A and B are shown apart, each in its own frame.
Chain A
Amino acid sequence: GDSVTQMEGPVTLSEEAFLTINCTYTATGYPSLFWYVQYPGEGLQLLLKATKADDKGSNKGFEATYRKETTSFHLEKGSVQVSDSAVYFCALSSWTGNQFYFGTGTSLTVIP
């Protein structure tokens, strides 16, 4: 069945460091891919999405490219800030659009 595997955490970075959180997926057909972010004490929020191969999703300085050949959707940011400290979830929705699958989440802490 469909599934998502993402990098284990926790990740601790200094402010202005480069961030990569790896995410790979297994799916039939053509899933849509997402990154969600959960700030402390809050629900999950959509960070970015990509609906087809080679699409790049971007938001708030974060980017991820839908790579069908490597079945990956890695999250990147060039310069992280303290306010980026949160848990990041990679997710996919199935070809039919009905089912969603989440990774285990990666906790990011950015220190000044």
Chain B
Amino acid sequence: DSGVTQTPKHLITATGQRVTLRCSPRSGDLSVYWYQQSLDQGLQFLIQYYNGEERAKGNILERFSAQQFPDLHSELNLSSLELGDSALYFCASSMKRQGRLSGANVLTFGAGSRLTVL
């Protein structure tokens, strides 16, 4: 158990629907990252939050949104789902303290949420 908890583990839904994926970071970690892993595109960075604030955006579609709550858990919302959104969605956490002096920040990944859009 990595300490990063993702729910649900599996989700099957239909095109056009909306789903929410949830992530609880490792205890003490302030930063949450979301990644999408599909067979043909590898690991794609979506978005990062640090202590409730958005820090960086990657290849996140406008149909997708995320937030990090005061208790540091995060949710990734996927709407108007398309077949191509079928993928594994990973959450990772890091950064007990900000900045270089804290040493190498290591990403700890959850087990992922597998989304299937039919």
> A residues engaging B (CB < 8 A)?
32, 34, 36, 42-46, 49, 51, 89, 91, 93, 95-100, 102, 104-105
Contacts and interface: CB of A to CB of B under 8 A. Distances in A.
Contacts, number: 64
A104 B112 contact: no
Given A104-B42, A105-B43, A98 B102 contact: no
Nearest to A51: B104
Contacts of A95: 100
Interface residues of B, number: 29
Nearest to A46: B106
Contacts of A42: 111
B100 A43 contact: no
B111 to A, nearest CB: 5
B95 A43 contact: no
Given A43-B110, A43-B112, A93 B90 contact: no
